[in-house]
């Protein structure tokens, strides 16, 4: 397979590029490096003769003119992401995320042998339904979707992804839409709950207080290796063409407070966990029904939560925690 990954220097995009390369596929990584790091890991991967790095900005009309015309699969990860960026620039999120998707879809139409266009949506599409009506848990993809309050800046990201789902469905090219749920792991920056708690626990002294926000909110977490294996499996399975599928882990569903206790234990500190305020706009529960995805891909998550946190902490301790400026928050 020959694949193009837009946003391929970001968190999931990079791990997917490495996953595909390790399995003998050819990969083009396209990124503007506004958030994705051009670090030693990206440089090492790009040194392979089967990996090409394209520095480009999908907001420019001719950005993908350097891309090839014989991709079997396009994975479109390029987007404005991260709660802080969404809250600060909601108009740009709506405008730029759609513009970048349109450019990627145009590239897809120009391909001579495209088998699949994979669009990562978001679990945020369920947030309005949960808020106003409640949702079944675990949550199937067939759940009716409700748009949250349009005046909230955070709604902009969900809307850009929901509109993106519609664009893919009407694009005329073979597609698969995946809705990631709480993917975590090495090289994801420091602004997400798992690395943020790891950083604070690592830097704390025994008997310090560890304030945990939204301590009672419940989540299931999916380690990055399982996430990219699911992305690849969904792209390759003929049964996934035209489908919208959850991407995540079946369980366990735990509270953020329980997650914090596990992280503190992995880090090896004796800390007192105290409840902080709830994060505005954060869903109280997020638990995907993975039965349809497992049925169509044949893949079930392999890495348990404790093991995933141990792997994540080991990587952050070796690469980031002594120099947090290396990675964008």
Structural domain of 41: 2-187+221-250+286-303
Quick check: 282 pLDDT over 90?
A: no
Position 329 confidence tier, pLDDT thresholds 50, 70, 90 = very low
Q: What is the CATH number of the domain that holds 243?
A: 3.40.50.720
What digits encode the pLDDT tens for the residues 25-46? 999 999 999 877 789 999 999 9
pLDDT for 326 equals 60
Whole-angstrom CA distances from 288 to 226, 285, 292 are 15, 10, 10
In a domain, 11, yes or no: yes
The structural domain count of the chain equals 1
Helix (H, G, I), strand (E, B) or coil at 261: helix
pLDDT for 281 equals 81
pLDDT for 279 equals 87
Quick check: 318 pLDDT over 70?
A: yes
pTM, two decimals, is 0.96
In a domain, 280, yes or no: no
Q: Token digits for 68?
A: 């090839």
What digits encode the pLDDT tens for the residues 43-84? 999 999 999 999 999 999 999 999 999 999 999 999 999 888
In a domain, 329, yes or no: no
Share of the chain above pLDDT 90, in %: 92
* Cis peptide upstream of residue 252 (ω within 30 degrees of 0): yes
Give burial (CB, 10 Å; 0-12/13-18/19+) of 173: middle
Quick check: 125 pLDDT over 50?
A: yes
pLDDT for 324 equals 61
Yes or no: say if 73 and 241 are a contact pair by the CB < 8 Å rule.
Answer: no
What digits encode the pLDDT tens for the residues 74-117? 999 999 998 888 999 999 999 999 999 999 999 999 999 999 99
In a domain, 293, yes or no: yes
Pairing mode, strands 222-223 and 272-275: unpaired
Residue ranges of E strands in the chain: 2-6, 26-31, 51-55, 73-76, 116-120, 175-180, 183-184, 209-212, 218-219, 222-223, 244-247, 254-255, 272-275, 285-286
How far apart CA 316 and CA 262 sit, in angstroms, is: 16
Mean pLDDT (whole number) for 135-154: 96
In a domain, 275, yes or no: no
pLDDT for 185 equals 98
How far apart CA 139 and CA 13 sit, in angstroms, is: 25
Q: Is the dihedral of CA 256, 261, 263, 264 positive or negative?
A: positive
Yes or no: say if 283 and 181 are a contact pair by the CB < 8 Å rule.
Answer: no
In a domain, 314, yes or no: no
pLDDT for 85 equals 83
In a domain, 322, yes or no: no
pLDDT for 114 equals 98
In a domain, 196, yes or no: no
pLDDT for 327 equals 55
Looking at residue 137, what DSSP letter applies? S
Mean pLDDT in the chain? 95
Helix (H, G, I), strand (E, B) or coil at 153: coil
């Amino acid at each position: 397979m020959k694949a193009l990954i837009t946003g391929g220097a970001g968190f999931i995009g990079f791990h997917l590029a490495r996953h595909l390369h390790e399995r003998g596929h050819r990969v083009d990584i396209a990124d503007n490096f506004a958030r994705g790091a051009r670090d030693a890991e990206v440089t090492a991967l790009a040194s392979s003769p089967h990996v090409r790095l394209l520095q480009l900005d999908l907001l420019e009309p001719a950005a993908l003119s350097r891309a090839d015309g014989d991709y079997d699969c396009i994975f479109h990860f390029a987007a404005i992401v991260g709660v802080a960026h969404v809250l600060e620039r909601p108009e740009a999120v709506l405008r730029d995320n759609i513009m970048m998707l349109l450019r990627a879809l145009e590239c897809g139409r120009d391909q001579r042998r495209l088998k699949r266009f994979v669009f990562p949506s978001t679990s945020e599409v369920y947030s309005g339904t949960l808020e106003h009506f409640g949702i079944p848990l675990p949550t199937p993809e067939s759940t009716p979707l409700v748009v949250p309050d349009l005046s909230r800046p955070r709604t902009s990201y969900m809307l850009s992804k929901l509109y993106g789902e519609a664009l893919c469905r009407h694009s005329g090219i073979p597609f698969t839409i995946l809705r990631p749920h709480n993917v975590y792991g090495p090289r994801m920056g420091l602004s997400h709950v798992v690395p943020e708690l790891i950083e604070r626990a690592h830097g704390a002294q025994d008997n310090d207080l560890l304030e945990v926000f939204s301590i009672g909110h419940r989540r299931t977490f999916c380690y990055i290796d399982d996430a990219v294996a699911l992305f690849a499996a969904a792209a390759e399975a003929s049964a996934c063409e035209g489908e919208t599928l959850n991407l995540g882990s079946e369980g366990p569903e735990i509270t953020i407070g329980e997650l914090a206790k596990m992280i503190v234990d992995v880090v090896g500190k004796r800390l007192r966990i105290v409840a902080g305020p709830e994060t505005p706009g954060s869903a109280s529960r997020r638990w995907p029904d993975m039965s349809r995805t497992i049925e169509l891909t044949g893949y079930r998550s392999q890495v348990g939560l404790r093991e995933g946190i141990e792997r994540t902490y080991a990587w952050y301790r070796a690469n980031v925690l002594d120099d947090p400026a290396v990675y964008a928050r």
